[in-house]
Amino acid sequence: MVDRITIMTICAVGVGSSLMLKYNAREVLERHGIQARITNADMTAAKGQAADIVIITPDLSHAIAGSRSFKRVIVLENMVSKKELEEKLVPACLEVLGHAAPPGK
């Protein structure tokens, strides 16, 4: 069982969308009491790194398809939706941590 997970948010340049996703993910996880190390990166830097979970948008997901550097890949259809982020991120974190997903999820 893992105690603390690593999460990487990825966008094309690594300073706009990925930074916003990083802060939104931190907010969501704090609400659920989940400890994580969250980093943001551009596509080039991300390819040379590993993480338990990666958060990315559909337009870039093809670039990491098949990568073994990430245990879980979360593709967000709407990157500004905290609801979608929470619905996808919390169960993924619980799975990586080795916990059962909350009831109804």
Average pLDDT for 28-53:
90
What is the model's pLDDT at position 13? 66
Q: Which CATH architecture has domain 5-97?
A: 3-Layer(aba) Sandwich (3.40)
What is the model's pLDDT at position 42? 86
Average pLDDT for 31-58:
90
Domain ranges of the chain: 5-97
Q: How confident is the model at residue 61 (pLDDT cuts 50, 70, 90)?
A: confident
pTM: 0.85
Question: Over 90: is that where the pLDDT of 99 sits?
Answer: no
77, 23, 91, 56 alpha-carbon torsion, rounded to 10°:
40
Best CA proximity match to 10, nearest among 81, 82, 62: 62
